[in-house]
Amino acid sequence: MKYIIVMNPQINKIVLLGEKGVGKSCLVFRLCKDRFKVFSETTIGAAFVSYKIKYKDQLVPINIWDTAGHNMFNHLLPLYLRNVDVALICFQHPNLKKIQNYVNIVKDVDPSIKIFLVITKIDLWADHTLFPKVFEYASLEDLKTFKTSSISGEGVQELFNSVAEEVVSIPEMNIEDLPLSSLTILPKRCCS
Ligand SMILES: Nc1nc2c(ncn2[C@@H]2O[C@H](COP(=O)(O)OP(=O)(O)OP(=O)(O)O)[C@@H](O)[C@H]2O)c(=O)[nH]1
Ligand SMILES: [Mg+2]
């Protein structure tokens, strides 16, 4: 019998994390629909989206986990961070302590996760150099920073291009090397 292998959402896994209301879900919506989501409801637990990013001459599939920023869901973050390739720490205010707290949460789960710092809602800021301490910290920790607005779309493509670049730079595994838990194998129907 023939089989098809369905990639699990744990492959090319991207997680957005950050405080409630910083604009994580709107960022994902802007990426996927190329427009601003006017009425965005607070996320419960996490939302999952699969998307293919156009990068150079290829389509890079990514699995996005958009986590809830409300404090009551903080204890779930380590679960969503398992097997993550890139973590996008989103924030709209330059509160270094809170940003460092998220960086530590990610590093505690797996220090090899690539972390991007994402400033959101830059349409609200006249001057983004108001984040000097954040940039200083980012360069010290060798973390890439991005400035985005889901309203104007500014910086969103650049951010996800870098995500795709990061994902394609991860050495491809042979199918035999992938952990069984990351694959779902289904019998192939004769007509499919
Ligand atoms: N000015 C401005 N407002 C934004 C932007 N992105 C999102 N918002 C607004 O910010 C609010 C929260 O956006 P969400 O994307 O739902 O925030 P979230 O981070 O997903 O929030 P939780 O799911 O509660 O963690 C909404 O009222 C949006 O309209 C942006 O780029 N600029
Ligand atoms: Mg949300």
Name the closest ligand to CA 121.
1
The rounded Å distance from CA 92 to ligand 1 centre is 10
DSSP H helical ranges for the chain:
24-33, 77-80, 96-109, 132-141, 156-169
Q: How many CB atoms lie within 10 A of CB 73?
A: 17
The rounded Å distance from CA 38 to ligand 1 centre is 9
pTM of the model: 0.87
Q: What is the mean pLDDT of each run of 10 residues along the chain (192 residues)?
A: 51 95 98 95 95 91 96 95 96 94 97 96 80 92 96 97 91 56 47 40
For residue 185, the model assigns a pLDDT of 46
Q: How many CB atoms lie within 10 A of CB 68?
A: 21
DSSP secondary structure string for all residues of 129-155: GG-HHHHHHHHHHT-EEEE--TTT-TT
Q: CATH number of the domain at 4-182, out of 2.130.10.10, 3.20.20.140, 3.40.50.300, 3.40.920.10? A: 3.40.50.300
Are 83 and 17 a contacting pair, CB within 8 Å? no
Main-chain phi, psi angles of 39, to 5 degrees: -110, 100
Which residues have any ligand 1 atom within 6 Å of their CB?
20-26, 40, 42-43, 68-70, 120-121, 123-124, 149-151
Domain boundaries, the chain: 4-182
